Structure 1
Amino acid sequence: MSSRALRRLQGRGNVMALPPVDQEESESDEEEIVNHVVNKFALLDDSDEKSDEQIATDVVKQDTAVNKKKKNRKKKKKKATTMTPTEDLDKVLEEIESNGQVAPSTSHQRQDNLMSFKFQKSVLTVEHRHLNPDNELRKIFGTRALMGDSSYRRRNQGSQSRGMWLTQPQNNWAKLGRTGISMKSLETKNGCQVFKFEHSKDYQDIQFKFLDAVDSSDHRNIAVIIEKHSYHVDALLTFSDVYKVHEDIRMARELIERSLYCLERSFHSCFNLTTGMCRLPYKYQENRCLYLSLYKHMNFVSQRGCNRTALELCKVLLSLDPEEDPLGSILELDHFALRAAEYEYLIKFASEWGVSRNLTQLPNWAYSLALAHFQMSLLEKSSDKEKADKALQNALIMFPSVLALMLEKCSVQPDPKVAACAVFASKTKESRPQGLELLCHMFVCRNHSLWKDPEILAWLESNVNAVISRVEKKDRFVDECAQKRKTRYQKPPMNIYRHALISELPEVSSLLPLDIRTGTMLSHDPLPPQDTVISYQRPARSSHGRSRHPVSLFFHSLLPGFNPEEPFDGAPEYLDRADAGQMRGNVQTLMNAMRELLDNFQRPLAEDEEEEFVQDWD
C-alpha cells in the first residue's frame, strides 16, 4: 500500500477531514456519508489513484449534496409542525360552527381528556407508591440506615409479591394457601362498584370456634386458633391488641400486616383501592375486618413517622364508605395532612367537601384549615395570611373551649383578659354539650404538638386578641355560634363513639356515655351498627357459660357442669322415696335461689337509681 493510501486511511491533514455531522441526521444519511467518503476497500486499489486536488473536490461536492438533503428535510419538518395546538383547536371550533358536529375520533379524544381531568381532581385518589411505608422510610433515612432494622430486612430481602400494595409478606410467615375469604361484586351505584367479602364453609367453622374462644375470656384459646389457622383475620385483630397491652408493638404490628396480606389476596379483580370508586358497606359483618385492619395499620405507620403513608391509608379508609364513614376517618384526615405538610391537599379537600359535609362544623377541620392557610402563607408569602386569620377567628368563636385545652397541652399560661372574656370563660363549660366536648378533646390530644411552634403561638395570640375585641363590640357572629352550640352536638352519631373507642386516646374514654363505657367492646367488632346484615347464623349453643357476669363465672368455676336453667332430673336410686323427695325439694330450692341471685345481679338499674349512681360516680 502506498504512502498516499495510508494517509487517506488515517485521515492525516485536511484531505480526509469529515464535515461535522448534525445530530438530527438519520441513520441512512450517516451510512451514505461513510460509503461515499470513507470507502476503505477502495484504498486497496492503487491503480486508480487520484490527486489530492481531485479528492478535495469530490469531498466538497459530497458535502454540498448532504447539506442540501438536510435543508430539504428541515423544511419538510417545519411545514409539518407549523400548526400549533391553538390553531388545531381553532380548526375544531370552525368545524363545529360550520357542520354542527365534530369528527368521532376528535370528540372521543376530548371526552377521554375530560374524564381523565375529572379523575385527577378526585380527592380520594391514592398513588400506589405512597401505600408502602418502606418507600417513605427510605426517603427519610436512606437505605443504608434501614439495613440495621431486622424487620425491614425480612420485608425487603424476600420475594416480593406482585400486586400487593398494602403490605409485603415476611420470610417467617406461614405460606398462604386458600384463605376461605373471597369477594364478590354486588352492584354498581352512582358510578361506584359495591363489593362484599364472603366466607367459605370451612372459614365459617373456624369463625364459630373463634367466637367460642372470645366468650371464654381466655386469650390462650385465641392463640390456639392462630396456631392452627395462621390467617384467621378476626383472631389476628384480637390478638394484636393482646400484644399491644403487653407493649410488644412489633408483634402487634406484624399481626395486623398479616391480616391485611390475607385480605388483599382475597380482593376482587375489579376492586381497586386507589381509584376511590370502590365501596365496601360496613353493615356487612364480613367487611368490617378490612376497616379495622386498615385503621390499626394506619396508626402503626403513623407511629413510625410515615405520615404521608398514613394519609393515603386514611383516604383509602374514607373511600370505602364516604357516606357513613363508619370509623370516623374524617376526624384524622386533617391531622395526617398537616403532619405530612400536604397543606394544598387539605385546602382542596375542604373546598370540595366542606359545603356538602359541613366540615367547618367539626373542631378539627375548623382549626386545621386555618393552620393550613397560615403554613401556605409562610411558604408562598401570599394572601393566605388574611384567609388564615379569618378562619382562625371563626374557629375560636365557634369552638372557644379548644383554646383552654390547647394552651394547657402546650404548657402556656393564658392572659388574664382571656379568662375574663365571656366566650373563653371556664363557666361556659356547663353549657357545652357532651358530644362537642368529645370532639374538642380528641382534636387537642392529636394536634396540640402542631401548635407548639413559637411563630404559630404568636399568630394564635394575635387572633385571640382580635376575637376579644369582636366580643366587646358585640359581633352578631358570636351570638350565632353560641346558639349553634346549644342546639347541635347533643347526641353524636355512632361512628364518632366508635372512633373514640378504637383511637385509644387518653382522657377521651371518660367522656363517652355510661352505657358505652360499661358495655362489652369486642376488638373484632366494636359497636356494631343497628342495620347489621348477618350472612350466616352461628349455631345454637348451650346457654351454659354464656353469662359473663362475675358471680356467674364464680359459680361456673365451682361447678363447671352445673347449668341453672336445666331442670333437675331426679335423685339417685339408692335413696328411698322420702329422702329422694326431700333432696329434690332442697335442690330445687337452691336452684331457684341461685336463679334469683343471678337475676338480681343482672337486673338493669331504674332511671332514678341510674341518676343516683351517676351522681355518686361524679
Structure 2
Amino acid sequence: MLIPIFKIMCLAEYNFDFTSVLFVFVHLCRYVHSPTYGQAQRAFEAAQAIHDLNGVASVLMYHPYHLDSLITMSDYFKFVAEHQMAADAVAKCLYALECAWNPMFTPLQGNCQLKFSHETNKPLFKALFTHMINMDRRGCHRSALEVCKLLLSLDSEDPMGALFCIDYFAVRAGEYSWLEQFSEDYKSDNSLWLFPNFSYSLSICRFYLEREQTSQDAHKDNTKATSADLMKQALMLHPSVLKKLVAKVPLKDQAWTKILAHSYFHSDETKIPSLDHLINIYVERSYIIWRLPDLQKLLRDTAKLVIETLEHNRSEAKDWACVREEAFSSEKNEYAHLLVQDFSDAVSSLPPDNLQNFVVDARMGEAMHNAIHAGNPHDVGQAPPPRDVANRNPLAVLFESMLPWVNYGDGGDGIAADEDYQINGHFQENQED
C-alpha cells in the first residue's frame, strides 16, 4: 500500500514532494519546483541554451538561491581560482536545499532516499559532492567523510561515486576500524575488496591498526589477515596500480625500477575498461597517501614478495587474472559517468563540461574591471571596501559583483546592503562559520 503523495510548501522557492513506501521501510523523496522557482529555472535554461554565462549570473540577481545557477557559478569561480567564492556559492546552495526539507525527511536516520534519476534531486548530489571535495581541500577530512556517508545513503546506486573515495577520507581521518567494519557490512553485488581503492586501503588500515594494538590485542586479532597479506592480495589482484603510483607519487627509489621491470608489474593497464577507469580514479584521489615512507616500505617489500611468489608458482598470475575478469566482466566502461578530474585536488586548465560551451564577451569583463577601478565619488573618506578587486580576474570580478550577497562597499549612496536576502519573506540567509 502506498501513502498518497502530498505537497508541503517549504521555506525556499521550491517544495518537497514526499512518498512513503511502507513495505520496504524507506521513504522515497524528491524536490518539486514551485511556479516561482520554475520561472527561474526556465531563465537559467534559456541562458544555458545560448551559452551566456552572464545570463546565468543575472538569474541570481533576481533568484539568489537558484540551485543550477549557483552550481554553475561555483564551477566558474573554481576554474578562475576564486576558491572562496566557489565555496560560498555551494554553501548557499546547500542552505537553500536544506530549508526545503520536509520535517519527515530524516536522512541521518538512514530511512530516506532521493533518487538521482529525478532531475530536481540532482542539485543536492552535485552540491554535496562539491562540498565534500572542498572540505577535503581545507583539511577537514572527517567532515568530508561524513558528507560522503550521506551521499552514499541518499541513493543506493551511488551516482556520484562516493564509494570510490570514502576509503580515502576514512584513511585521512584515521577511521581505520570503521572502514574495516564498513567493508564487511556494506551490501553490494561485489565484495568491496575487489575494488582497487578498497583492496589497497584495507591494507593501509590494517597496517595502522597493527601499530596501535598492544601485544595482547594483537593476540586476540590473530585470525585477521595482516597488512602484508592484504597488500599482497591487492598487488596480485590489481598489479597495474603499482606502475601508476610510482609515476604519480612519485617514487624515485632505484628498487622500483627493478620491480617495474618484472613482467607482472610492467603494464599500467588491464585492458578491462571499467577496472582501468576505477584504477585511474583511485590513483588520482589517493596517491598523496603513498608519500609516507612507512607505507612506501610496505608497498615495496610486498611487491618483492609477490615477485618471489610468482617465480615459484606462475599459475597464481592466471588465477588472479580470472578473478579480475569475473569481477569486472563488462566490455564497456560502467563508470564512464564518473570523471577522473572530479576526484582530483588539481584545478584543471580547461573549463568543466558545463562551462566549456559558455561564451562571454571579454569586452564586458574589461568594462566592468574599469568601472570598478574608476571608483565611486560617494566613497571618499569611507573605509576600504570589504572585497579587494585589485589584481584579480576581471571576469571573475564581473560575475562576483552580480551575486546578491557580495558587497564591495556602498558607502553613503543611500542604498543599504541587504544582508537578509529573504525569499518569499520566509527565511533568512544562514550565517557562515
| TM-score (norm. length: structure 1) | 0.51
Report the secondary structure of 2:165's partner residue: helix
Hey, what does 1:346 align to over in structure 2? 179
CA contact (8 A) 2:196 2:279 kept: yes
CA contact (8 A) 2:65 2:93 kept: yes
Q: Which has the higher contact order (CA 8 A, sep 6+)?
A: 2
CA contact (8 A) 1:501 1:509 kept: no
Counting only pairs closer than 5 Å after superposition, residues 258-407 of structure 1 correspond to structure 2 as 258-322=92-156, 324-353=157-186, 356-381=189-214, 382=218, 383=221, 386-407=225-246
Report the secondary structure of 1:373's partner residue: helix
Change (3 A) 1:347 1:292: same
Counting only pairs closer than 5 Å after superposition, residues 145-294 of structure 1 correspond to structure 2 as 178-188=11-21, 190-294=24-128
Residue 185 of structure 1: how far off its partner (Å): 1.5
CA distance in 2, matches of 1:480, 1:393: 14
Hey, what does 2:399 align to over in structure 1? none
Residue 354 of structure 1: how far off its partner (Å): 6.7
CA distance in 2, matches of 1:255, 1:470: 53
Give the counterpart letter for 1:403 in structure 2.
L
CA contact (8 A) 1:442 1:505 kept: no
Hey, what does 1:411 align to over in structure 2? 251
Change (3 A) 1:214 1:457: same
Residue 436 of structure 1: how far off its partner (Å): 2.2
Residue 476 of structure 1: how far off its partner (Å): 4.2
Residue 394 of structure 1: how far off its partner (Å): 0.8
Superimposed CA distance per residue, residues 258-305 of structure 1 (whole angstroms, 9 cap, x where no aligned partner): 010001000011111211221001111000010011111111111111
* 1:481 alignment partner, one of 290, 315, 320: 320
CA distance in 1, matches of 2:276, 2:16: 40
Residue 404 of structure 1: how far off its partner (Å): 1.3
1:437 aligns with 2:276: yes
CA contact (8 A) 2:246 2:256 kept: no
CA distance in 1, matches of 2:141, 2:84: 18
Superimposed CA distance per residue, residues 510-557 of structure 1 (whole angstroms, 9 cap, x where no aligned partner): 9xxxxxx9xx9437xx9xxxxxxxxxxxxxxxxxxxxx899xxxxxxx
CA contact (8 A) 1:343 1:372 kept: yes
Hey, what does 1:169 align to over in structure 2? none
CA distance in 2, matches of 1:471, 1:507: 41
Report the secondary structure of 1:347's partner residue: helix
Residue 441 of structure 1: how far off its partner (Å): 1.8
Report the secondary structure of 2:29's partner residue: strand
Give the counterpart letter for 1:422 in structure 2.
S
Change (3 A) 1:354 1:275: closer
Superimposed CA distance per residue, residues 93-126 of structure 1 (whole angstroms, 9 cap, x where no aligned partner): xxxxxxxxxxxxxxxxxxxxxxxxxxxxxxxxxx
Runs of 4+ aligned residues of structure 1 deviating over 4 Å after TM superposition are 383-386, 504-510
Report the secondary structure of 2:337's partner residue: helix
CA distance in 1, matches of 2:287, 2:341: 20
Change (3 A) 1:416 1:244: closer
Report the secondary structure of 2:68's partner residue: helix
Residue 457 of structure 1: how far off its partner (Å): 1.5
Give the counterpart letter for 1:468 in structure 2.
I
Give the counterpart letter for 2:343 in structure 1.
S
Change (3 A) 1:444 1:509: farther
CA distance in 2, matches of 1:504, 1:451: 15
CA distance in 2, matches of 1:392, 1:330: 20
Residue 492 of structure 1: how far off its partner (Å): 2.8
* 2:306 alignment partner, one of 447, 464, 467: 467
Residue 486 of structure 1: how far off its partner (Å): 4.6
Residue 325 of structure 1: how far off its partner (Å): 0.5
CA distance in 2, matches of 1:503, 1:424: 25
Residue 507 of structure 1: how far off its partner (Å): 11
Hey, what does 1:490 align to over in structure 2? 331
CA distance in 1, matches of 2:272, 2:122: 30
CA distance in 1, matches of 2:162, 2:184: 18
Residue 398 of structure 1: how far off its partner (Å): 0.8
Give the counterpart letter for 1:503 in structure 2.
F
CA contact (8 A) 1:410 1:449 kept: no
Change (3 A) 1:203 1:360: same
Change (3 A) 1:504 1:372: closer
Residue 199 of structure 1: how far off its partner (Å): 0.5
Change (3 A) 1:253 1:352: same
Cα RMSD of the aligned pairs, angstroms, is: 2.8
CA distance in 1, matches of 2:171, 2:59: 41
Superimposed CA distance per residue, residues 426-454 of structure 1 (whole angstroms, 9 cap, x where no aligned partner): 3x74x522332221122112212212222
Superimposed CA distance per residue, residues 61-90 of structure 1 (whole angstroms, 9 cap, x where no aligned partner): xxxxxxxxxxxxxxxxxxxxxxxxxxxxxx
Give the counterpart letter for 2:239 in structure 1.
P
CA distance in 1, matches of 2:278, 2:205: 20
Q: How many corresponding residue pairs?
A: 339
Superimposed CA distance per residue, residues 3-40 of structure 1 (whole angstroms, 9 cap, x where no aligned partner): xxxxxxxxxxxxxxxxxxxxxxxxxxxxxxxxxxxxxx
Change (3 A) 1:274 1:434: same
Give the counterpart letter for 1:185 in structure 2.
F
Change (3 A) 1:376 1:229: same
CA contact (8 A) 1:298 1:313 kept: yes
CA distance in 2, matches of 1:179, 1:438: 39
Superimposed CA distance per residue, residues 38-70 of structure 1 (whole angstroms, 9 cap, x where no aligned partner): xxxxxxxxxxxxxxxxxxxxxxxxxxxxxxxxx
1:425 aligns with 2:266: yes
Residue 504 of structure 1: how far off its partner (Å): 5.2
CA distance in 2, matches of 1:248, 1:549: 18
Give the unaligned 5+ runs of structure 1. Answer: 1-176, 511-516, 527-547, 551-618
Identity of aligned residues (%): 27
* 1:522 alignment partner, one of 344, 354, 358: 354
Change (3 A) 1:290 1:444: same
CA contact (8 A) 2:274 2:334 kept: no
Residue 463 of structure 1: how far off its partner (Å): 1.1
Report the secondary structure of 1:497's partner residue: coil
CA contact (8 A) 1:279 1:321 kept: yes
| TM-score (norm. length: structure 2) | 0.72
Give the unaligned 5+ runs of structure 2. Answer: 1-9, 360-433
Superimposed CA distance per residue, residues 195-222 of structure 1 (whole angstroms, 9 cap, x where no aligned partner): 1110111211111110001112121111
Change (3 A) 1:417 1:178: closer
Change (3 A) 1:490 1:360: farther
